[in-house]
Amino acid sequence: MTHVQSRIPNLTIGVDLGDRLSRVAQVDAEGNEVRSEAIATTPQAVRTYFEAIPSARVVMEAGTHSPWVSREIAALGHEVIVGNPSEMYGKVGRRGKRRRCKKRNDKLDASFLARQGRADVSLLYPIRHRSAKTQADLELLRGRDQLVQVRTKLVNHVRGAVKSYGFRLVRSSTPAFPRRALENIPEALRPALEPVTQLIADLTKRVDAFDEIVQQRINEYPEAKQVQQIKGVGPITALAFVLLVDDPRRFTDSRDVGAYFGLVPQLDESSDSQPQLGITKAGDELGRRLLVSAAHYILGPFGPECDLRRHGLAICARGGPNAKKRAAVAVARKLAVLMHRLWVDNTAYEPDRQAKRQRPA
């Protein structure tokens, strides 16, 4: 998201959001800090504080509370800027340490945000939060994902416990796992594993209930059905993509969507040094994981013949370390670009478009 700063505001307010208390610092047009105090991080306290202040520029970092706080303040007529902390304070170095200011506390952070917002908004790398409804619908997918991850860990626990006792459980689908497992669990392990298998069965029912809700919710997003034209993109992936992108028009180039989901290589070039680095893994982890999962299906034995599959298989054919992983990431990146294009253009999906172009006339 870009922001054009045309003037120095009369008042810039930096808000360092805390879980219970937030520090607020006010800086005037001349750069003088005129007020600094702490307020409770509650909707009522935020409204009470900011409704008594004339229209101002309010700056905060993205975090747990920033979505609802930014909406509350914007509703009162203030200009709200939400900065991206991972960009503001520098990238993570090669040793995994983030380069940040060594002298920091809540008061200094609030003042820093206010002064940055007064001086040059672009230094904050502003982001835009989703609407309240979009956020609520996205939490459905996150809740389902948490249940699926817990269920997977429990299934692996049961299999590992049985294997360590000298037995193996037969392969089965996750819904059938509790019944098949109970038929083969050694008698000595039943007191320990039967409750776990019952919990797995209960989690499966709850995941199915989530799936029904998602299927109902997806009817409210026709664009999600549009991107499902691609075989391998199911309701969960389609809805997650639409909710995470939110507004497709904010990407002037569809190729930027791959970077938005962190599916592009990192850059750390200096002079003659151009090391090959992994992907940035920026953006939403769930969305990136779903896109990569769809890519694995497209490249797998049941994947349809299409441009995406041929692109990935060509990368695999080059060989080298992690060829399959690189192919899956490349297909996921192209998949994100294609989904965005289908959404924006509202056109029919052509799985062999590139292949037809390359055929001789």
pLDDT digits (tens, 9 = 90+) for 155-202: 999 999 999 999 999 999 999 999 999 999 999 999 999 999 999 999
Mean pLDDT calculated for residue range 208-236: 95
Distances (CA, A) of 297 to 100, 177, 233: 41, 22, 9
pLDDT at res. 334 = 97
Q: How many CB atoms lie within 10 A of CB 95?
A: 5
Structure tokens at 308: 């995406």
Nearest-5° angle of CA 231, CA 233, CA 235?
Answer: 125
Q: What radius of gyration do the chain's Cα atoms show?
A: 25
How many Å apart are CA 210 and CA 144, to the nearest integer? 6
Q: Which of 81, 10, 62, 72 is nearest to 40 (CA)?
A: 72
Is residue 40 within 8 Å of 61, Cβ to Cβ? no
How many Å apart are CA 270 and CA 275, to the nearest integer? 9
How many Å apart are CA 266 and CA 281, to the nearest integer? 9
pLDDT at res. 22 = 97
Average pLDDT value for the chain: 91
Q: Residue holding tokens 């996150």?
A: 142
Structure tokens at 155: 């299934």
* 359 Cβ contact partners less than 8 Å away, ≥ 6 residues apart: none
What proportion of the chain, given as a percentage, has pLDDT over 90?
83
User: Structural domain boundaries of the chain?
Assistant: 11-124, 132-218, 223-358
Mean pLDDT calculated for residue range 73-98: 78
Write the single-letter amino acid at 60. Answer: M
Entry pTM: 0.87
How many Å apart are CA 232 and CA 243, to the nearest integer? 18
Q: Residue holding tokens 């229209």?
A: 55
Q: Is CATH 2.60.120.260 the right assignment for the domain spanning 11-124? A: no
CA atoms within 13 A on the CB side of 351: 12
Structure tokens at 15: 């808000």
pLDDT at residue 61 greater than cutoff 80: yes
| pLDDT tens digit sequence for 324-334 | 999 999 999 99
DSSP at 171: P
pLDDT at res. 272 = 63
Mean pLDDT calculated for residue range 18-32: 96
pLDDT at res. 27 = 97
